[in-house]
Amino acid sequence: MKKIRFEIDTDGFHGVYWKNSIKTDAGLILMLGDDAEDHMAKSGVKWAQKQGFNVMTMSPEAKDYGHHNYPLERIDMAIQWMKCHGNSKIGVAGASTTGTLALVAASYFPDITLTIAMTPSDFVWEGFMQGKKDGCREWPVDGESLFSYQGKPLPYMPFVYRHPDYWHIVKKDSKESGNMIASRRLFDDSEKAHPIQEEEYIKIEKIKGKLILVGAEDDVLWDTAKYIRRMEERLKTKSHECDCEILLYKHGTHFVFPQSMLRSILPIVSSLLIKLAFAAGRKYSGECKRTRLDIDKRVSAAIAGWTISETEELFL
C-alpha cells in the first residue's frame, strides 16, 4: 500500500496516509491501535479501503495509546491536508477512547460528515498515560484532559481514584471478573463522585452528516450503553443536523468491531480473541458474533449511503 508518513515536529501530527489503489474522493481518519502504523492500524486500513476510502491513520505519538491534552488541531491539520489531496468527503472512525475522540473531533470540525464511534463515552474524561510506573500500566494525569483545543484542556470528569489506586482497582476487578481488563467501576464511581457537568458533555448536536454510535450492554470497560442512550436523549432535546444511527446490542463486549474488520485484524483467531479477552465473549460467543455480523452489514450500508448522499450534495 502506498503511504505517506507525518510527524509532529515537521507536519504537526503523527499519522500515515494510505492512498487507495482504486480512485476515490472519500477520506477516512481512522484511529485504532497504539500507533498509526501498527498491525491493528494497518488491518483497519485494509478494511476501510475495501469500503472505498483513502485512509489517514492517526495516534498521539509513535506506539503510545495514552491520551492527555491531545490537541484537536492535529485532527484539523489532517483534514485540511486530505482535502488538498483529493478527498472531498471526510469521515472519522474510532473505538474505545478514540471512539470518544471521533465524537469530539466531529463536534468541532464540520468538514467531517461521517462519524463512526464504537464504544464511546458521551463526555470527556481525565487524561491518562500508559507505560510502567510504580508497577502500574496506566495512571491518570493530574490537571490534564483527554483532549485540548487552542492550548487549553477541555473540561473533563476527573477520576475519583488516583495513582496507584487507579490501576489497582482496574487490576483487581479484571482478575475477579475473568476479563482481560475491566474498568467499569472506575468510571461508575468517578461519575458518582463527580456528576457530569454540561461543559464536560460532548456537543454531539454540532456533528454534521451521518453519525453511527456502536456499543453493547455487556461492555466491562465502561457503561457505553448508558452513554449512548444519553446521547440519543440529548439529540431529542437539541436542534441538530446529523442523521444518527444507534447500534446497541445486549451482547458484543468492548470489541464491537464489524466482523470483517475483526477478521482483517486477526484472520484466524478473531472469535478466539473475544473469548480470551472477555467473560461475556466466552459465555455468549454466538451472540457476540451475530452482533459483529449485524454491525458489519449496517455500517457498510451506512457508509454506502453516505458516499452517495455526499456525492449528490456536491452536484447540487
pLDDT score at 197: 98
Does the residue 66 lie in any domain? yes
Q: Report the C-alpha gap between 291 and 294 in whole angstroms.
A: 5
Residue 258 within any structural domain of the chain? yes
Distance CA(29)–CA(236), nearest Å, equals 28
The model's pLDDT over 60-119, given as tens digits with 9 standing for 90+, comes to 987 777 899 999 999 999 999 999 999 999 999 999 999 999 999 999 999 999 999 999
> Which is more confident, 272 or 153?
153
| Number of domains the chain is built from | 1
User: What's the average model confidence in pLDDT over 261-275?
Assistant: 76
pLDDT of residue 61: 83
In-domain check, residue 139: no
CATH number at residue 45: 3.40.50.1820
Q: What is the pLDDT of residues 22-47, one digit of tens each?
A: 999 999 999 998 889 998 999 999 99
Whole-number Å distance between alpha carbons of 113 and 95? 18
Cell numbers found for residue 32: 485504532
Specify if 37 maps to a domain: yes
Are 167 and 139 in contact by the 8 Å Cβ rule? The answer is yes
Residue 91 inside a domain? The answer is: yes
Grid cell 464536560 is found at 200
pLDDT band at 313 (very low <50, low <70, confident <90, very high): low
The pLDDT value recorded for residue 268 is 52
SS (H, E, C) the chain: CCEEEECHHHHCCCEEEECCCCCCCEEEEEECCCCCCCHHHHHHHHHHHHCCCEEEEECCECCECCECCEECHHHHHHHHHHHHCCCCEEEEEEECHHHHHHHHHHHHCCCEEEEEEECCCCECEEEEEEEEECCEEEEEEEEEECEEECCEECCCECCCCCCCHHHHHHHHHHHHHCCCCCCHHHHHHHHHHCCCCHHHECCHHHCCCEEEEEEECCCCCCCHHHHHHHHHHHHHHCCCCCEEEEEEECCCCCCCCCHHHHHHHCCCCHHHHHHHHCHHHHHCHHHHHHHHHHHHHHHHHHHHHHHHHHHHHHCC
Does 41 reside within a domain? yes
Report the pLDDT averaged over residues 232-260. Answer: 97
Closest by alpha carbon to 187, among 226, 131, 213? Answer: 226
Residue 234 lies in a domain: yes
Does 158 score more than 90 pLDDT?
yes
pLDDT for the residue numbered 311: 64
Looking at residue 34, its pLDDT comes to: 83
Domain that residue 297 falls in: 3-123+203-314
> For residue 303, what is its C-alpha cell?
457508509
> Cα 42 to the chain's mean position, in Å?
16
Hey, CA dihedral for 112, 118, 122, 124, is it positive or negative? negative
pLDDT single digits (tens) 175-206: 999 999 999 999 999 999 999 999 999 999 99
In a domain, 14, yes or no: yes
pLDDT for res 156? 98
The answer, as to whether pTM is greater than 0.75, is yes
Expressed in angstroms, the distance from the first to the final Cα of the chain is 34
More confidently predicted of 312 and 208: 208
* Residue 164 reports pLDDT greater than 60: yes
Distance CA 94, CA 98 (A): 5
